[in-house]
Amino acid sequence: MSSCGAGSHKEEVTEMLAIATVDTPNEAPLRASAAGSAGNLADRVVDDLAAFGVTKYFGVPGGAIEPLFGALARKERAGLVEVIPMRSEAAAAFAADGYFRATGRMAACTATTGPGTSNLLTAVMSAHADRIPMIVLTPQVALKKQGRGALQDSSSDGYDLPRMLDECTRYSTTVTCPEQWPHKLSRALARAEGGQMGPVHLSLPSDVLSGVAPETPTRPFAVTRPAQAVDERGVAELVRAVNEARRPVIYVGDDAGERAHALLDIAMRVGGRVVTSPGGKRWIGHVHPAYSGVIGFSGHVSARDAVMSADLVIAFGATFDELSTSAWSVLPDVPVFAVDRHAEHAYRIAGARAVVADTGSVVEALWHGVPARVPAVDWERPPPRPSGFRELSTGPVHPSELMQWLGRTLPPDVVVHVDAGNGFSWSTRDLDRPSPDTYRVAMGLSTMCWAISATIGAAVGRQRRTLCIAGDGAMLMSSLELTVAVERRLPVTYVVLNDSGLGMVRHGQRLAGAESIAHEIPCVNFDELARACGATGVRVTTQRELRDVPMRFLADDRAGPCVVDVRIDRVAVPPIGDRVMGLASGVSK
Ligand SMILES: Cc1ncc(C[n+]2csc(CCOP(=O)(O)OP(=O)(O)O)c2C)c(N)n1
Ligand SMILES: [Mg+2]
pLDDT at 164: 97
Q: How far apart are CA 587 and CA 329, in angstroms?
A: 8
What are residue 564's DSSP bridge partners? 495, 538
How far apart are the CA of 421 and the centre of ligand 1, in A? Answer: 5
pLDDT, tens digit only, all 589 positions of the chain: 333 333 333 333 333 333 232 222 232 333 333 344 468 999 999 999 999 999 999 999 999 999 999 999 999 999 999 999 999 999 999 999 999 999 999 999 999 999 999 999 999 999 999 999 999 999 999 999 999 999 999 999 999 999 999 999 999 999 999 999 999 999 999 899 877 899 999 999 999 999 999 988 877 655 556 567 899 999 999 999 999 999 999 999 999 999 999 999 999 999 899 999 999 999 999 999 999 999 999 999 999 999 999 999 999 999 999 999 988 888 889 999 999 999 999 999 989 999 999 999 999 999 999 998 765 545 555 555 554 445 677 788 999 999 999 999 999 999 999 999 999 999 999 999 999 999 999 999 999 999 999 999 999 999 999 999 999 999 999 999 999 999 999 999 999 999 999 999 999 999 999 999 999 999 999 999 999 999 999 999 999 999 999 999 999 999 999 999 999 999 999 999 876 776 666 544 4
126 lines ligand 1 (CB under 6 A): no
pLDDT at 382: 52
pLDDT at 526: 98
DSSP β-ladder status, 200-205 and 171-174: parallel
Evaluate whether 138 touches 116 at the Cβ level (below 8 Å): yes
Atom of ligand 1 nearest to the CA of 447: 26
502 lines ligand 1 (CB under 6 A): yes
Instruction: Please state the φ and ψ torsions of residue 156, each to the nearest 5 degrees.
Output: -65, -15
471 lines ligand 1 (CB under 6 A): yes
What are residue 458's DSSP bridge partners? none
DSSP β-ladder status, 336-340 and 135-140: unpaired
pLDDT at 393: 78
pLDDT at 576: 93
- CATH number for 8-209 (one of 3.40.50.970, 3.40.50.150, 3.30.70.20, 3.10.50.30): it is 3.40.50.970
572 lines ligand 1 (CB under 6 A): no
What are residue 108's DSSP bridge partners? 57, 135
Q: Which CATH superfamily is domain 232-369 in?
A: TPP-binding domain (3.40.50.1220)
503 lines ligand 1 (CB under 6 A): yes
pLDDT at 154: 97
State the span(s) of the chain assigned CATH 3.40.50.970: 8-209, 399-579
pLDDT at 42: 98
324 lines ligand 1 (CB under 6 A): no
pLDDT at 224: 53
Ligand index nearest the alpha carbon of residue 478? 1
pLDDT at 440: 98
Q: Which of 427, 497, 504, 573 to mutate to test the pocket of ligand 1 (most atoms within 8 A of CB)?
A: 504
pTM, entire model: 0.92
pLDDT at 577: 80
State the span(s) of the chain assigned CATH 3.40.50.1220: 232-369
Q: Kindly report the protein residue whose alpha carbon is nearest to atom 25 of ligand 1.
A: 447
Using alpha carbons, select from 40, 46, 48, 47 the residue that is nearest to residue 59. Answer: 46
Q: Which of 428, 494, 496, 505 to mutate to test the pocket of ligand 1 (most atoms within 8 A of CB)?
A: 505
Q: Kindly report the protein residue whose alpha carbon is nearest to atom 3 of ligand 1.
A: 448
CA 30 to each of CA 74, 191, 351: distance values in angstroms, whole numbers, following the listed order? 20, 20, 47
CA dihedral 15, 17, 19, 22 (to 10 degrees): -130
Q: Which of 502, 511, 519, 583 to mutate to test the pocket of ligand 1 (most atoms within 8 A of CB)?
A: 502
- CATH number for 399-579 (one of 3.40.50.970, 3.40.50.2000, 3.40.50.150, 3.20.20.60): it is 3.40.50.970
468 lines ligand 1 (CB under 6 A): no
pLDDT at 4: 31
How far apart are the CA of 402 and the centre of ligand 2, in A? Answer: 15
How far apart are the CA of 415 and the centre of ligand 2, in A? Answer: 22
How far apart are the CA of 251 and the centre of ligand 2, in A? Answer: 31
pLDDT at 120: 98
Ligand index nearest the alpha carbon of residue 423? 1
How far apart are the CA of 422 and the centre of ligand 2, in A? Answer: 8
Phi-psi sector, 33: left (phi>0), alpha (psi -120 to 50), beta: beta
How far apart are the CA of 472 and the centre of ligand 2, in A? Answer: 4
Contacts for 569-574 with beta carbons within 8 Å, 24 or more apart?
569/395, 569/396, 569/397, 569/398, 569/399, 570/499, 570/500, 570/501, 570/503, 570/506, 572/398, 572/399, 572/400, 573/507, 573/511, 574/298, 574/399, 574/422, 574/425, 574/426, 574/503, 574/504, 574/507
